[in-house]
C-alpha cells in the first residue's frame, strides 16, 4: 500500500512514518501542501493520502480538494487537531473519506487506513451479512493488534476466498442507473458518474437494498466498519455529496430519499 503523508511537524511525521512502515506500507512524505501536490503528480499513484489540516501555506483542506479533483479514486484521511464540528464536515464535503483527530493512537490510525483500503478494493465482496461479519472480524483484529503485529490476517484469507467465489461478476440496475461491481463504476443514462471509494460503497449498499429503508447506524457499520469511532454526520455528508452527483435537483432528491429520523432509501426503479 502506497501512502502520501502530509504533515509539517517532523516529530509527528516521524511517528506516523514508523508505524506505517511497521505495517509494511510504503510512505512518501511532504511537509507542505505544495510539495504534496507535486509528489502526487510525479510519484503517484498513491493508494491513500494522510493530510494534516493546519499547514503554513496551502492548508490540508485545499490539498484535499485538489487531490480529489485530479485523483477521484484516491483514499483521503484528514489528520486534524481541531475538534470543531464544522472542520470535520468541511473536510468530508471537500472529498475526504475519513478523519482522525489528534492525538491518535497508532492502532486507531492503522485500523482506519486498513478499513478504507478494504472498501477501496472489495470489488468481489458483497455488502451482505456474511461479508459484513468477515470485514468486522478483520477490523477487530486491526484494532486489537495493529501495534503488536501478528499473523491473524492470514487466517482469514481462506474464508475471504470462499466469499469471492460466491460473488461472480455482476451489475446492479435501477432505472437509468447501472453499477458494475467488478469495475467499481456507476453510470446514469450511460454517462459515467465518478465516485470516491466511500461514495461508491455507499451507493452500492443502497442499490443492493433498493426500496428498503437503511438506518444511519447500519450504513456506518457496513461502509466505515463496526469499530468506527466517528459520528453519524459522516453518513449525511457523504449522502449530500452523492446527491450532488446523481440527482437532477439535489435539494429535492428523488433517487436517494431521506427517511426522517432513521436513514436513507434508494427509491425502487428510479427512472430519472
Q: What is the pLDDT of residue 270?
A: 54
Domain boundaries, the chain: 2-119, 171-265
**6-19 pLDDT tens trace:** 999 999 889 999 99
- Give the CA distances from residue 41 to residues 11, 44, 108, 145, 263, in Å, rounded to whole numbers and listed in that order: 26, 6, 29, 34, 38
CA 33/CA 249 separation, integer angstroms: 34
- pLDDT class for 230, splitting at 50, 70, 90? low
- pLDDT class for 161, splitting at 50, 70, 90? very low
The most confident of 79-88, 165-174, 229-238, by mean pLDDT: 229-238
- pLDDT class for 135, splitting at 50, 70, 90? very low
Q: What is the pLDDT of residue 218?
A: 92
CA 138/CA 63 separation, integer angstroms: 31
Mean pLDDT score, 156-164? 44
Q: Which residue has the cell 512502515?
A: 21
> What CATH class has 171-265?
mainly alpha
Burial class (CB in 10 A: 0-12, 13-18, 19+), 110: buried
Helix axes 106-120, 10-22, angle to 10 degrees: 60
Q: What architecture (CATH level 2) is domain 2-119?
A: 3-Layer(aba) Sandwich (3.40)
Which range has the worst mean pLDDT, 4-13, 46-55, 156-165, 191-200? Answer: 156-165
Q: Are strands 263-266 and 213-215 parallel, antiparallel or unpaired?
A: antiparallel
With b for 16 or more beta-carbon neighbours within 10 A and e for fewer, the 139-155 pattern comes to: bebbbebbeeeeeeeee
Which range has the worst mean pLDDT, 151-155, 167-171, 252-256? Answer: 151-155
2-119 and 171-265 share one CATH topology? no
More confident residue, 116 or 143: 116
**77-122 pLDDT tens trace:** 998 876 666 777 888 888 898 888 888 888 889 988 988 888 777 6
Helix (H) or strand (E) holding 192: strand 191-193
- pLDDT class for 196, splitting at 50, 70, 90? confident
| Cβ atoms < 10 Å from Cβ of 213 | 14
pLDDT exceeds cutoff 90 at 132: no
pLDDT exceeds cutoff 50 at 156: no
CA 229/CA 14 separation, integer angstroms: 24
Claim: this prediction has a pTM higher than 0.95: no
CA 270/CA 60 separation, integer angstroms: 37
Q: What is the pLDDT of residue 106?
A: 87
pLDDT exceeds cutoff 50 at 53: yes
| Cβ atoms < 10 Å from Cβ of 82 | 16
Which range has the worst mean pLDDT, 32-36, 37-41, 62-66, 133-137? Answer: 133-137
pLDDT exceeds cutoff 80 at 237: yes
SS3 133: helix
**186's grid cell:** 456507476
Rounded (10°) CA dihedral 231, 235, 237, 238: 140
CA 100/CA 230 separation, integer angstroms: 8
SS3 225: coil
Q: What is the pLDDT of residue 41?
A: 94
Q: Are strands 185-188 and 177-180 parallel, antiparallel or unpaired?
A: antiparallel
More confident residue, 209 or 104: 209
Q: What is the mean pLDDT of the chain?
A: 80
Helix (H) or strand (E) holding 161: helix 157-166
Amino acid at each position: 500500500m502506497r501512502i502520501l503523508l502530509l504533515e509539517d511537524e517532523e516529530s509527528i511525521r516521524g511517528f506516523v512514518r514508523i508505524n506505517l512502515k511497521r505495517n509494511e506500507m510504503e510512505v512518501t512524505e511532504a511537509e507542505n501542501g505544495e510539495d504534496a501536490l507535486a509528489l502526487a503528480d510525479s510519484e503517484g499513484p498513491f493508494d491513500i493520502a494522510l493530510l494534516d489540516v493546519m499547514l503554513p501555506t496551502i492548508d490540508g483542506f485545499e490539498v484535499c480538494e485538489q487531490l480529489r479533483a485530479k485523483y477521484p479514486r484516491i483514499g483521503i484521511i484528514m489528520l486534524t487537531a481541531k475538534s470543531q464540528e464544522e472542520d470535520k464536515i468541511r473536510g468530508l464535503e471537500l472529498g475526504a473519506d475519513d478523519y482522525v483527530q489528534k492525538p491518535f493512537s497508532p492502532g486507531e490510525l492503522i485500523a482506519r487506513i486498513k478499513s478504507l483500503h478494504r472498501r477501496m478494493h472489495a470489488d468481489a465482496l458483497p455488502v451482505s451479512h456474511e461479508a459484513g461479519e468477515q470485514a468486522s472480524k478483520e477490523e477487530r483484529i486491526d484494532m486489537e493488534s495493529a501495534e503488536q503485529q501478528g499473523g491473524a490476517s492470514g487466517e482469514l484469507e481462506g474464508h475471504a476466498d470462499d466469499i469471492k467465489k460466491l460473488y461472480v461478476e455482476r451489475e446492479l440496475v435501477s432505472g437509468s442507473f447501472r453499477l458494475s461491481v467488478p469495475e467499481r463504476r456507476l453510470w446514469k443514462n450511460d454517462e459515467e458518474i465518478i465516485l470516491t471509494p466511500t461514495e461508491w460503497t455507499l451507493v452500492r449498499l443502497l442499490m443492493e437494498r433498493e426500496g428498503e429503508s437503511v438506518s444511519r447506524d447500519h450504513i456506518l457499520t457496513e461502509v466505515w466498519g463496526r469499530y468506527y469511532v466517528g459520528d453519524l454526520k459522516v453518513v449525511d455528508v457523504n449522502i449530500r455529496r452523492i446527491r450532488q452527483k446523481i440527482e437532477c435537483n439535489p435539494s429535492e432528491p428523488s433517487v436517494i430519499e431521506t427517511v426522517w429520523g432513521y436513514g436513507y432509501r434508494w427509491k425502487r426503479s428510479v427512472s430519472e
